Amino acid sequence: MLVRVSDRLKALPPYLFVEMDKAKKKARDEGRDIIDLGVGDPDTPTPQFIIDALNSAVRDPSTHRYALDQGLPELRDEIASWYERRFNVKVDPKEEVLPLIGSKEGISHMPLAFINPGDIALVSDPCYPPYKSGVIFAGGKVELLPLLSDNDFLANLESIPSAKAKKAKLIYLNYPNNPTAAVADESYFLNVVKFASKHGIIICHDAAYSELSYDGYKAPSFLSAKGAKETGVEFHSLSKTFNMTGWRIGFVVGNRDIVQAIAKVKSHIDSGIFTAIQRAGIAALKSYDRYIGSIRSRYEARRDVLCDGLNKIGWKVQRSKATFYVWARCLKGYDSIKMASHLLNEADVVATPGVGFGPNGEGYVRFAFTVCEERIKEALSRINKIV
């Protein structure tokens, strides 16, 4: 039997992290000591108080049954409470909050609720790959918004032709940004809201890295901008904030009609988050204020070691205000794939080639400071010998 995949599947580029995993596995199979500064996966364990909450919940037989599609009411209440404490933004826990099996799930499924075949989605580029793949799966067309250094890696909405803006249904933005580590202020979000309102575009803002911020900086919510809740939604994740990447829990908040449309898609695709994990998520959010300072301090120290070391080598990078990434321009004579390959083959150090995040990522590599300071120093020593 000849198996023919769909045109949508053919349209997808290779998923960046799958290809990276293959290269890393090959190197490790050869017995090499790889220092992985590639994928942004926290290296420290989930805090014990969250594990304890899960342990208690999983022993309760009532958590073993199907979860509610829209999440536990107690979790939605806690999300709304955290959101108001953190951003001074009120959301209705009943209709404007939806827990997700990780923010990636909601982000990639969102186009199914709003994109018809041929519709346009505006996607910042370079970007987290599911923005594009979600649109492709829905049959839509991706229109790239270049993130360029001369505009501080902020999408320039004024550069979008009026004809394309009128046809667009969605716009994907992400600040603090992956992979560039760029940040946006409330005035930028206000301009985004005005642009979206003018053209009738739904805003999808990915704020997965909002809580990993340094030097006293605190990332604002897109929903803090006047009129934002009338135009879009914001996605958050417990993955990076609480070292819970494997647990798969996040949420979306904002415009009730948009949230409920995403909920309808979910009701036909999954059966909700495991209830015990939802209870652990409640414990995480309740303890946010006493916990977050320690994780910020850890990453800030690592960032300083990495950036100072790269600058001494001659890389000329800026210290990230947020995320756990450094976006570094490739050294002279290298494109992003050659640069990443050189680092892996000659120094046993993994960095992510920028082109894997989109064509506007060419010329850069992304370093993640998700290993301990000692390993970062060792990586820098190795890099220094080959550049």
| pLDDT tens figures, 234-274 | 999 999 999 999 999 999 999 999 999 999 999 999 999 99
Provide the pLDDT for residue 380. Answer: 98
Pick out the chain residues at pLDDT < 50.
none
- Shared domain for 73 and 205, answered yes or no, is yes
Q: Which of 289, 305, 337 finishes a domain?
A: 289
- Shared domain for 186 and 246, answered yes or no, is yes
Provide the pLDDT for residue 210. Answer: 98
- Shared domain for 266 and 296, answered yes or no, is no
CATH code where residue 305 lies: 3.90.1150.10
Looking at residue 175, its amino acid is Y
- Shared domain for 296 and 377, answered yes or no, is yes
- Shared domain for 39 and 52, answered yes or no, is no
How many structural domains are present in the chain? 2
Domain that holds residue 376: 7-44+290-386
Provide the pLDDT for residue 337. Answer: 92
- Shared domain for 246 and 326, answered yes or no, is no
Alpha carbon distance 113, 119 (integer Å)? 12
- Shared domain for 207 and 324, answered yes or no, is no
Task: Note whether residue 231 is domain-resident.
Answer: yes
Provide the pLDDT for residue 68. Answer: 81
Provide the pLDDT for residue 258. Answer: 98
Residue that is written with structure tokens 């206000």 in the block = 190
- Shared domain for 296 and 256, answered yes or no, is no
**For 58-71, b where at least 16 C-beta lie within 10 A, e where not — what string?**
beeeebeeebebbb
Task: Note whether residue 1 is domain-resident.
Answer: no
Provide the pLDDT for residue 69. Answer: 82
232-237 and 250-254 beta bridge pairing: antiparallel
